[in-house]
Amino acid sequence: MYDLIILGAGPAGLTAALFAARYRLKTVVIGKEIGGQANYASVVENYPGIKSISGADLIKIMKSQVTSLGVKIIEENITNVTKVKEKQIFSVITEKNSYQAKAIIFALGTERKKLNLPEEEKFLGKGISYCATCDAPLFRNKSVAVVGGSDSAVMSAMLLSKYAKKVYIIYRGKELRAEPIKVEQLKKTRNIEIIYNAEVQKISGKNFVEKILLTNKKTLEAQGIFVEIGSTPSTYLIQKLGLETDNQGYIITNNAMETNIPGLFAAGDCISKKLRQIINAAGEGATAAFSAYAYLKSKKNS
Amino acid sequence: MKVTVYSTPTCPWCVRLKEWLKQNKISFEDMDVSKNEKAAQKMVEKSGQMGVPVTEIDDKVVVGFDVTALKKLLKLK
């Protein structure tokens, strides 16, 4: 039996683990991918203390900070989480095992949104990619398009511009919503062209992506499409637990990171909030760990 | 058994795949397709797709970090 199980091993989960270990809670972290979405950030330049670092390298440091305090990180897929009411404990079921704890921090982040086009599956890996950090070098001297207008979209476009001969950004809005400093850098990059007020209507090609038809009736010749149209929380476990959410499915917490379920705290990209960055995910993870610590202490004394 | 991994240094799943192979004591040749353009072309031809990682085991190809498929081809339990 653990004091605390942290679900998710991204910046929120890892920071929660760091604090929980310092509070000497018997803690374990369970997540399918250490780092989560942060792994896919090619550069992080807004995390104070470190001027510039890749998301994957930042996660490596966070991970070693956690494991050096003796907290185990278990890489398993979580299939169910239940609250055993009469005992006031939680049970976490993975594909392989089950784990019990007195408190839970839910930090399972979000899942990437897909374009939802019928031909998307066919071209997956054949031009369509969800990871510019991984696949950008394979598009040397080719033309590519990035769909989206967020920080991730702009970062992907900047990375791709180093390899591809031409990078289009296709964005449905009329102004990119990435940080202005990133947009400034982007606009200085010669081989990037931004197409506003447009979405992808159809992708075509024989075996690989060759053409992209846009909703504004324009056709782009491109061999690659990088999808960066945001993400949504994975609703399955949230609904199963009966966590209160906003209308987009994000978990509602108060400023102590408490949810509507006593003993269950939430942090990171999966909660209802305005800004989704590594820095505030980490901060929420710290707060959640502190609140779990206070909760366990009050239960012990009652 | 000849094992070749086609990868890029920045791809998280490539790193995990290579760590997994090392843990299972499988020796492999690592092709960095971000630098080696010929290897990149070869990877696309062999796997019929453009995403990394790709693992070539003798003449069979596994796309992504697919543990089940890798275990089967590497005859691991």
- Asked if A125 lies within 8 A of B15 by C-beta distance, the reply is no
Taking 50 as the pLDDT cut, the residues of chain A under it are none
> Which are the catalytic amino acids of A?
131, 134-135
The radius of gyration computed from the CA coordinates of chain A, to the nearest angstrom, equals 21
Q: In chain B, what residues touch A56 (CB-CB under 8 Å)?
A: 10, 12, 15
Chain A nearest-CA distance from B6, in A, is: 11
Tell me the domain boundaries of chain B: 3-74
Closest-CA residue of chain A to B64: A125
Point out the residue among B12, B34, B37 whose CB comes nearest to the CB of A35.
Answer: B12
Residues 56 to 115 of A: which have CB under 8 A from any B CB? 56
Alpha-carbon gap, residue A284 to B59, rounded angstroms: 48
pLDDT of residue A86: 75
Closest-CA residue of chain A to B7: A134
Global pTM reads 0.90
A162 touches chain B (CB under 8 A): no
For tokens 């089967």, the residue is: B72
Chain B nearest-CA distance from A234, in A, is: 21
ipTM: 0.89
Chain B nearest-CA distance from A13, in A, is: 18
Which CATH entry fits the domain spanning B3-74: 3.60.20.10, 3.40.30.10, 3.40.50.10320, 1.25.40.10? 3.40.30.10
Closest-CA residue of chain B to A131: B11
Q: Is residue B77 classed exposed, middle or buried when 0-12, 13-18 and 19+ CB atoms within 10 A define those classes?
A: exposed
Alpha-carbon gap, residue A204 to A44, rounded angstroms: 34
pLDDT of residue A35: 95
pLDDT of residue A5: 98
Looking at residue A113, what DSSP letter applies? P
pLDDT of residue A85: 79
Size of chain A in residues: 302
Q: Which amino acid is at B52?
A: V
B51 touches chain A (CB under 8 A): yes
B33 touches chain A (CB under 8 A): yes
- Asked if B63 lies within 8 A of A125 by C-beta distance, the reply is yes
Residue A243 vs residues A86, A109, A261: alpha-carbon distances, Å:
19, 15, 7
pLDDT of residue A80: 95
pLDDT of residue A283: 98
pLDDT of residue B10: 86
Contacts of A273 (CB under 8 A, 6+ apart): A250, A280
Residue B25 vs residues A74, A123, A197, A289, B55: alpha-carbon distances, Å:
21, 34, 52, 38, 15
Spell out the SS3 assignment of A225-290.
EEECCCEEECHHHHHHHCCCECCCCCECCCCCCECCCCCEEECCCCECCCCCCHHHHHHHHHHHHH
pLDDT over 80 (residue B31): yes
Q: What is the pLDDT of residues B32-67, one digit of tens each?
A: 999 999 999 999 999 999 999 999 999 999 999 999
pLDDT of residue A88: 86
Closest-CA residue of chain B to A162: B34
Alpha-carbon gap, residue A14 to A87, rounded angstroms: 27
Q: In chain B, what residues touch A139 (CB-CB under 8 Å)?
A: 50
Q: Which amino acid is at A79?
A: T
Q: In chain A, what residues touch B44 (CB-CB under 8 Å)?
A: 138
pLDDT of residue A235: 85
Alpha-carbon gap, residue A251 to A235, rounded angstroms: 10
CB A266 within 8 A of CB A251: yes
Query: Tokens at residue A42, please?
Result: 């090619």
Point out the residue among A40, A135, A140 whose CB comes nearest to the CB of B52.
Answer: A135
Count A/B contacts: CB-CB distance under 8 Å.
58
pLDDT of residue A46: 95
CB A257 within 8 A of CB A104: no
